[in-house]
Structure 1
Amino acid sequence: MTRIGYHAAHEQYAPGALRDLAIRAEAAGFAAIKCSDHIQPWSARQGHSGHAWTWLGAAMQATTVPFGNIAAPGYRYHPAIMAQAAATLQQMFPDRFWLALGTGEALNEAMTGMVWPDKPERNARLKECFDVMHALLRGDTVTHRGRVTAVEARLWSLPETPPPLFGAAATAETARFLGGWAEGLLTLGGDPAQTARVIEAFREGGGAGKPVHIQHTISWADTQDEAMASALDQWAPVAIGGEINWDIRRPSDFDHLARFVDEEHIGRSVRVSADPGLHRADLQAFAELGVDTVFVHNVGRNQDAFIDMAARELVG
């Protein structure tokens, strides 16, 4: 049975407020929570970017549902340090944490001053980081010299069961690359037909039988005009498309590009509707793909009203 989860967006809320939203989401009936892992927001209008790993400890202590995080190892975070953080959360909260590994965005990772590579090189770096983390989380002592370096690295506080390491993919090509080694898939919602192609590529690439999570981005409000205004205000910079999201470094540059995103364009990235029935139908379509969890991200600032609506219409 597909669970409906709540996406906690660090870009949009101060950490304390986001913790309280996670508590409220669980009380409303959301069965799981996942968060983003940013050092900068996509837009200056979003205005926040708390430290995800610090927040996870507090939010998981205040709730009982499973949590996930999507992060990019090998840039801001050395893979051994990320593995240590994941192990600590799983040890404190057994079987409640999973981690999706992605190739990252310059917005978050280029601030270290490293050269920001192209996608094939980022894929290769991701696989090396996965191998290091996977071994560490199983108690191995790891020495690895390649795109990342670890010398006699070992984790001393391990959980009884390692947290699963998913791979994050927005395209069928990346999903197929992940299928043979990632322990699950995190992908995007939106058009169920496109999402189905990504999931099928993951399964064809070796991921058959592995769990799949979806992050589905919506904009809901009491009226269609309010829903559209929220989508354009908060998520237009992310909807620009192409390779831009991965390669631009500054929120101010995303805000400049957001001027070119109109109502038709935003609809390709965000499901904009005041109709709960439409959102419910989308969730059912994703459930029919055999996914484990659909995490709903409502991009508007109306989170209290959204959670109340979801309790009535989406998660019951």
Structure 2
Amino acid sequence: MTLIGFHASHEQNTPSQLLEDVQLAEQAGFEAAMCSDHFEPWSRAQGHSAFAWSWLGAALATTRLRFGVVSAPGQRYHPAIIAQASATLACMFPGRFWAALGSGENLNEHITGDPWPPKNVRQERIEECVDIIRRMHDGEEVTHRGHVTVDRARLWEIPEVKPPLIAPAISVETAERSARWADGLVTVNQEPAKLADMLAAYRGAGGRGKAVLQVHVSWAPTEQEALEVALRQWGSNTLSPPTAWDLARPSDFEEATRDVTEEKLRSTVQISADLAVHAQRLREFADLGFDELYLHYVGTEQKPFIEAFAERVLPEVR
């Protein structure tokens, strides 16, 4: 049976509100949760961006859910710090935490003032970081010099249950390459044919672990309201790579998506006022071979979405 989880978007709500939302989601029947890890939101309309790692401690302590986070060691974060942060959560909440480690976006990484590297360098850098983090989770003292530098780093709290390190991927090529190191794969809703190709490439290259899909959804009592919510809050998120990786400020995203079309928006967000339509589309994603679906309602008022989907959508998908 496909697990249905809740996505907490730090770009769109205060951390205290998100904590209440994820607690409500658990009570309503969502089985797990994941969150974003941003320094800046995608747009000024979203307007928030708290520190995900602090929030995760509170969320894990006040629910029974398993949590994941999408993060990017290598520039904004030194890999030894991510090793320590992830190990601490794994020690406190064994078996309940995973991290998806990606190559990052300039939106979050530009704050260091370091140059934004090309994609191939970022890919090599994240693979170095994953190796460093794994070795530290195993109790090694690590010294490394490459795209990142580590000097005699070791952890003094070693988790008995190692947190899975999952690969976030948008392309077939990244999914295939990630199979060499990842404990699972996570991506976002795209055309079903492309998602099927990504899963085939990952599994075909020996990829292990669970396949996870984050699904952006917009629901409201009317189709027009659902469309307006998506446009207002997620219209700036319709850019494709590499543009989405390389822009540096929320205002850059706003300018680049000023004339976003409804067709483009619907290709990014699952928009419908009909809960049966949402259930059918989610079943189709599950049928592709995804083990876990994390639903991200792109509006800010999460309670109506949580209650409606818990009653009408989750049972149908399951």
CA distance in 2, matches of 1:132, 1:301: 37
Per-residue CA distance 1:249-288 (angstroms, 9 max, x = gap): 0001111122121211101111111111111112211222
State the shift of 1:29 in Å.
0.5
State the shift of 1:121 in Å.
0.8
CA distance in 1, matches of 2:3, 2:191: 19
| Structure 1 residues without counterparts, runs of 5 or longer | none
**Are residue 309 (structure 1) and residue 313 (structure 2) matched?**
no
State the shift of 1:210 in Å.
2.0
Aligned to 2:31: 31
| Structure 2 residues without counterparts, runs of 5 or longer | none
Secondary structure of residue in 1 paired with 2:214: strand
Q: 2:16 corresponds to which letter in structure 1?
A: G
State the shift of 1:2 in Å.
1.1
Q: What's the C-alpha RMSD, in Å, of the aligned pairs?
A: 1.0
**Are residue 60 (structure 1) and residue 86 (structure 2) matched?**
no
TM-score normalised by the chain length of structure 2? 0.97
CA distance in 1, matches of 2:102, 2:234: 20
Preserved CA contact (<8 Å) 1:190 1:217: no
Preserved CA contact (<8 Å) 2:279 2:314: no
CA distance in 2, matches of 1:241, 1:225: 25
Preserved CA contact (<8 Å) 2:32 2:67: yes
| Equivalences for residues 237-248 of structure 1 within 5 A | 237-248=236-247
| Equivalences for residues 121-136 of structure 1 within 5 A | 121-136=121-136
Q: Hey, which bits of structure 1, 4+ residues long, moved more than 3 A? A: none
More off after superposition, 26-35 vs 300-309 = 300-309
More off after superposition, 5-14 vs 297-306 = 297-306
**Are residue 272 (structure 1) and residue 258 (structure 2) matched?**
no
Aligned to 2:182: 182
Identity rate of aligned residues, in percent? Answer: 48
Secondary structure of residue in 1 paired with 2:159: coil
Preserved CA contact (<8 Å) 1:33 1:68: yes
Preserved CA contact (<8 Å) 1:172 1:198: yes
Aligned to 1:200: 200
Aligned to 2:84: 84
CA distance in 1, matches of 2:241, 2:80: 31
CA distance in 2, matches of 1:165, 1:187: 14
State the shift of 1:242 in Å.
3.5
Aligned to 2:286: 287
CA distance in 2, matches of 1:233, 1:262: 13
**Are residue 213 (structure 1) and residue 176 (structure 2) matched?**
no
Closer, same or farther in 2 for the Cα pair 1:242/1:181, shift >3 Å?
A: closer
Aligned to 1:297: 296
CA distance in 1, matches of 2:190, 2:312: 19
Aligned to 1:5: 5
CA distance in 1, matches of 2:190, 2:233: 17
CA distance in 1, matches of 2:288, 2:40: 33
Secondary structure of residue in 2 paired with 1:206: coil
Aligned to 1:258: 257
CA distance in 1, matches of 2:42, 2:269: 15
Preserved CA contact (<8 Å) 2:8 2:33: yes
Equivalent pairs counted in the alignment come to: 315
Closer, same or farther in 2 for the Cα pair 1:189/1:220, shift >3 Å?
A: same
TM-score normalised by the chain length of structure 1? 0.97
Preserved CA contact (<8 Å) 1:228 1:272: yes
